[in-house]
């Protein structure tokens, strides 16, 4: 599709007997923030290296804006900016001097170069530090300078490796807001590789869960949550008077309630099949309870990740017993 800027088809990378990336098929749309989520060693960095043309795939293909990443890596680099986990700057040079050098390497000179630097300094919020040596910068400040650095050539696509790693909460909030702004206001297509679940949940339009070189789930966070809820049921917290064991027994008998447990705070947690909330309310009222609390718990990215990770482990165990492997997410 024309709106797909990053396209990987059957992308595979093997190092001897080790398969770092296993038959990855994935597309990232124009103007989208996509999070490639997985633990260290999952294959995220290897995928990034293949997209940048820094390592050749064993099989499959990768294209960015229609350009083959393996055959034409220099063309790809013209419109792709890459933010590494640890950006390398000359520590004895100021932030401005580092940006000036990057600009010159990308064909900018004179007033045009200085205007670009001034605009990016303001954009990423480093005006107070830009004339200090980068060796004095915090991790968060280096990440901001890194974003300014990769924006010097005004790329259409940004690939970021753990951009929020090691940054304090305030710096993280500002950085994630900037990433969303680059997608929404500038139309940048952004691929983020990360294991930081909370930050990914805040800024990504879609996520792909990557485990042992395989993409095991892909979609919007709400879509993945809905799928898990359909498979595993909904979760509720119920409070009523009287409470305790009487409430637990009453709720345990409601049709559709599969598990009920009394919590330390006196609420009863439920796992249900379908949505029995109306039946829950009717049962409690009919039995003389006064309902004080009814809350359906949402499925967040931590739980989504844990569930799919658990499922991947079960699939690997089946593989070792000779069972067929599951279809890969597309």
Stretch 227-236: mean pLDDT: 73
Stretch 215-236: mean pLDDT: 79
Q: Does residue 142 share a domain with residue 25?
A: yes
- pLDDT at residue 325 is higher than 80: no
Q: Which of 195, 189, 188, 163 is nearest to 176 (CA)?
A: 163
What ranges in the chain are assigned the alpha helix state H? 44-51, 73-79, 95-105, 110-124, 139-150, 169-184, 197-203, 221-232, 244-252, 277-286, 301-320
Q: Does residue 240 share a domain with residue 206?
A: no
* Cβ count within 10 A of residue 206: 17
- pLDDT at residue 2 is higher than 60: no
Q: Does residue 154 share a domain with residue 243?
A: no
Q: Note the pLDDT of residue 40.
A: 83
Residue with tokens 């090691």: 166
- Confidence band, pLDDT 50/70/90 cuts, at residue 169: confident
Domain boundary, last residue among 189, 219, 249: 219
- pLDDT at residue 298 is higher than 90: no
In a domain, 247, yes or no: yes
Q: Does residue 107 share a domain with residue 18?
A: yes
- Confidence band, pLDDT 50/70/90 cuts, at residue 224: confident
Rounded CA-CA distance 195/219 in Å is 17
Stretch 312-321: mean pLDDT: 48
Take residue 64 and report the two structure tokens written for it: 């960015």
Lowest pLDDT segment from 80-94, 97-111, 226-240 = 226-240
Lowest pLDDT segment from 3-17, 30-44, 61-75, 105-119 = 30-44
Residue with tokens 């909330």: 277
In a domain, 143, yes or no: yes
Q: Does residue 150 share a domain with residue 255?
A: no
Take residue 196 and report the two structure tokens written for it: 């930081």
Take residue 262 and report the two structure tokens written for it: 């009394």
- Confidence band, pLDDT 50/70/90 cuts, at residue 315: low
Stretch 177-199: mean pLDDT: 90
In a domain, 312, yes or no: no
Q: Does residue 250 share a domain with residue 109?
A: no
Give whole-number Cα distances, 194 to 26, 159, 204, 207, 209, in Å.
16, 11, 11, 10, 10
- Confidence band, pLDDT 50/70/90 cuts, at residue 314: very low
Q: Note the pLDDT of residue 323.
A: 39
In a domain, 166, yes or no: yes
Whole-model pTM: value is 0.76
Query: Residue 65 contacts by C-beta under 8 Å, 6 or more apart in sequence?
Result: 5, 79, 156, 157
Q: Does residue 281 share a domain with residue 169?
A: no
Q: Note the pLDDT of residue 1.
A: 43
Q: Note the pLDDT of residue 200.
A: 76
User: What is the CATH number for 26?
Assistant: 3.40.50.300
* Cβ count within 10 A of residue 71: 12
Verify cis geometry, omega within 30 degrees of 0, for the bond prior to 13: no
Range of the domain at 255: 232-297
In a domain, 328, yes or no: no
DSSP 274: S
In a domain, 227, yes or no: no
Q: Counting Cβ atoms within 10 Å, is residue 17 exposed (0-12), middle (13-18) or buried (19+)?
A: exposed
The count of domains in the chain is 2
Q: Does residue 54 share a domain with residue 195?
A: yes
Domain boundary, last residue among 162, 195, 219: 219
Q: Does residue 291 share a domain with residue 213?
A: no
Q: Note the pLDDT of residue 322.
A: 44
26 DSSP β-pair partners = 8
In a domain, 323, yes or no: no
Q: Does residue 241 share a domain with residue 190?
A: no
User: What is the CATH number for 239?
Assistant: 3.30.70.100
Q: Note the pLDDT of residue 312.
A: 60
Take residue 75 and report the two structure tokens written for it: 């063309």
Q: Does residue 186 share a domain with residue 281?
A: no
- pLDDT at residue 302 is higher than 80: no
- Confidence band, pLDDT 50/70/90 cuts, at residue 304: confident
Mean pLDDT for the chain? Answer: 87
What DSSP line would sit under 126-190, residue for residue?
Answer: -TTTTTSBGGG--HHHHHHHHHHHHTTT--SEEEEESTTTT--HHHHHHHHHHHHHHHHTT--EE
In a domain, 60, yes or no: yes
Helix (H/G/I), strand (E/B), else coil: 13:
strand
- pLDDT at residue 313 is higher than 70: no
Q: Does residue 173 share a domain with residue 66?
A: yes
- Confidence band, pLDDT 50/70/90 cuts, at residue 317: very low
């Amino acid at each position: 599709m024309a709106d797909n800027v990053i396209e990987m088809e059957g992308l595979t990378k093997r190092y001897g007997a080790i398969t770092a990336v296993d038959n990855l098929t994935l597309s990232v749309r124009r103007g989208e923030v996509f999070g490639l989520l997985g633990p260290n060693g999952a294959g995220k960095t290897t995928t990034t290296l293949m997209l940048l043309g820094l390592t050749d795939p064993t099989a499959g293909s990768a294209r960015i804006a229609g350009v083959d990443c393996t055959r034409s890596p220099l063309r790809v680099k013209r419109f792709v900016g890459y933010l590494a986990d640890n950006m390398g700057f000359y520590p004895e040079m100021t932030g401005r001097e580092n940006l000036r050098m990057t600009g010159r390497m990308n064909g900018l000179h004179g007033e045009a170069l200085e205007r670009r630097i001034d605009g990016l300094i303001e954009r990423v919020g480093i005006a107070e530090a830009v004339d200090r040596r980068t060796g004095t910068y915090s991790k968060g400040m280096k990440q901001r300078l890194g974003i300014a650095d990769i924006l010097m050539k005004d790329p259409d696509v940004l690939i970021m490796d753990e951009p929020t790693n090691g940054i304090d909460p305030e710096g993280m909030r500002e950085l994630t807001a900037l990433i969303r702004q680059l997608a929404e206001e500038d139309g940048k297509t952004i691929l983020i590789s990360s294991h930081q679940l909370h930050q990914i949940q805040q800024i990504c339009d879609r996520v792909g869960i990557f485990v042992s070189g395989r993409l095991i789930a892909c979609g919007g966070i709400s879509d993945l949550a809905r799928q898990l809820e359909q498979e595993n049921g909904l979760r509720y917290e119920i409070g009523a008077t009287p409470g305790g064991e009487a409430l637990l027994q009453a709720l345990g008998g409601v049709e559709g309630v599969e598990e009920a447990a009394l919590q330390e705070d006196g609420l009863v947690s439920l796992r249900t099949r379908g949505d029995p909330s109306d039946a829950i309310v009717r049962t409690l009222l009919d039995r003389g309870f006064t309902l004080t609390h009814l809350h359906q718990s949402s499925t967040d990215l931590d739980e989504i990740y844990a569930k799919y990770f658990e499922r991947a482990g079960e699939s690997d165990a089946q593989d070792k017993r000779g069972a067929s492997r599951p279809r890969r997410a597309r």
